[in-house]
Amino acid sequence: MRIIALIAFPLLLCTDCCKPDNSNGITPAVSSLTVGNVTHVRDPKDATTYRFVIDVYPVNSSAITVNYTTNNGTAVSGTDYNSVSGTLTIPAKGYSGYIDVIVTADSLRRDDQTFTLDLSSPVNAKLSNTQATGTIQNTGTYMPIDNAGYTSASSYSGMTLAWSDEFNGKTLNTSSWTYETGGSGWGNNELEYYTNSVKNTFLTGGYLVIEARKETYGTNSYTSARLKTQDKKTFTYGRIDIRAKLPKGQGLWPALWMLGNNISQSGYGWPACGEIDIMELVGNNSQRVYSTVHWGQENSSFHDSKGGNYSLSTGSFNDTFHVFSMQWDTSKMVFLIDDYPIFTVNKSDMTTGTYPFDKPFFFIFNVAVGGNWPGSPNSSTIFPQRMIVDYVRVYQ
């Protein structure tokens, strides 16, 4: 048998070694202060609180103080936010503190704005970073718009107004329009995701605005909007006037166009249904617009087209409003800009395929980003870009 001796030792309690000072020769870690950035969507009606949190690591057995002040970036103190300054005290053994900045309410639609919160002169701590940025996301639905430009007549001899949208409401009239959504390239290798968000479609002061934005949506790097009147507002023949101001920039592709309402029927997909491009613009040349018709043949991949273009002598289609029109009857289509005819296609000119332009057509308004025709945006492309539509009118 083995005898195991148990020897009892007195329990030693640490006293000096656990003190948060260097009396035992060990220097405690210095606390660091880290302040984070803050981003919020600006409320159009109520002020918004931007809370900047200052984290402490490791915690300190003594109180910490740090001076702070706000400074303008693109946001202006007294207009966009209320400036603050002073000294923040974080209690002993506190993990964090915070500073609140009030951002004023505003429904103005404009680019994001920024201001900074700057820290200085810490006591019992050091600064891991000295500045944080407050980003104000201005996604309101009011935007001042310069109405300068051409305006069409309000009536035409021998014709009556069959339908119009003056965009005078607060929201898009969904009894006339449908949002098309998705980001699969739309048959043209486009780069945007079309949404139904007010970020991309909104009404302001009697105008429809379609806004293309550089922002990530799923696997897409851009967002925009595509609106159609399919099965809601369709027309055969008449005069169409659309007053609009167009976006510009490499990779932008705005369009005001129509498709045959039978596109969903078997055998009548594109191009057999017919396509009427009242206006298309390739953004790297904002002086020139195109008008084109496309057609095909039922149950066939056959495709043909005819078109024309027009260039402004000075300025661009981004500068002021222009009116893009079409006069359409049983024998021809005439395309006009500011009442000046730029291209005519006769039914007798379309001798191939099957003539589709004697059936109901619906409208599509959209701003594509990228695609086979305009190419991709580059470093020169400024976002957001907007197509602004004052009205669409159909006379018959």
Last residue of a domain, one of 105, 137, 169: 137
178 with 282, same domain: the answer is yes
Question: How many other CB atoms are there within 10 angstroms of residue 238's CB atom?
Answer: 19
CATH number at residue 55: 2.60.40.2030
Phi and psi dihedrals of 356, rounded to 5? -105, 0
Catalytic residue among 180, 192, 280, 298: 280
Backbone angles phi, psi at 18, to 5 degrees: -100, 0
In a domain, 208, yes or no: yes
Asked if residue 171 and residue 114 are part of one domain, the reply reads: no
Q: Are residues 104 and 183 in the same domain?
A: no
- Looking at the domain assignment, is residue 251 inside a domain? yes
Residue 38 in domain: yes
CATH code of the domain containing 316? 2.60.120.200
282 plus 343 within the same structural domain: yes
Is 275 tagged catalytic? yes
Q: What is the C-alpha separation between 141 and 133, in angstroms, rounded?
A: 25
Domain that holds residue 111: 29-137
- pLDDT tens string, the chain, 396 residues long: the values are 444 343 343 433 333 444 444 445 455 689 999 999 999 999 999 999 999 999 999 999 999 999 999 999 999 999 999 999 999 999 999 999 999 999 999 999 888 999 999 999 999 999 999 999 999 999 888 999 999 999 999 999 999 999 999 999 999 999 999 999 999 999 999 999 999 999 999 999 999 999 999 999 999 999 999 999 999 999 999 999 999 999 999 999 999 999 999 999 999 999 999 999 999 999 999 999 999 999 999 999 999 999 999 999 999 999 999 999 999 999 999 999 999 999 999 999 999 999 999 999 999 999 999 999 999 999 999 999 999 999 999 999
Q: Are residues 327 and 376 in the same domain?
A: yes
Residue 334, classified by CB atoms within 10 Å of its CB into exposed (0-12), middle (13-18) or buried (19+), is middle
Rounded to whole angstroms, how far apart are CA atoms 273 and 360?
10
Number of domains forming the structure of the chain? 2
Q: 169 and 41 share a domain?
A: no
- CA proximity to 310, closest of 339, 341, 283: 341
Spatial distance between the Cα atoms of 370 and 282, rounded to a whole number of angstroms:
10
72 within some domain: yes
Q: Which of 137, 171, 198 is the last residue of a domain?
A: 137
Q: Are 202 and 177 in contact (CB under 8 A)?
A: no
11: in domain: no
Same structural domain, 341 and 211: yes
Please give the Cα distance from 357 to 90 (Å, whole number). Answer: 74
Whether omega before 144 lies within 30 degrees of 0, making that bond cis, reads: no
Residue 36 in domain: yes
Last residue of a domain, one of 137, 153, 187: 137
**Within-domain flag for 5:** no
- Residue 21 CA to residue 236 CA, distance in Å, equals 88
Distance, CA of 72 to chain centre: 25
Rounded to whole angstroms, how far apart are CA atoms 102 and 236? 55
Both structure tokens of 219: 């696997």
Query: In terms of domains, do 85 and 210 share one?
Result: no
Examine the domain organization and report whether 85 and 169 are in the same domain.
no
Inter-CA distances, 373 with 13, 250, 376, Å: 79, 11, 9
Same domain, 212 and 100: no
Same domain, 232 and 348: yes
Same domain, 127 and 165: no
What is the identity of the amino acid at 330?
T
- Active-site annotation holder among 190, 192, 211, 275: 275
In a domain, 60, yes or no: yes
User: What is the pTM for the complete model shown?
Assistant: 0.81
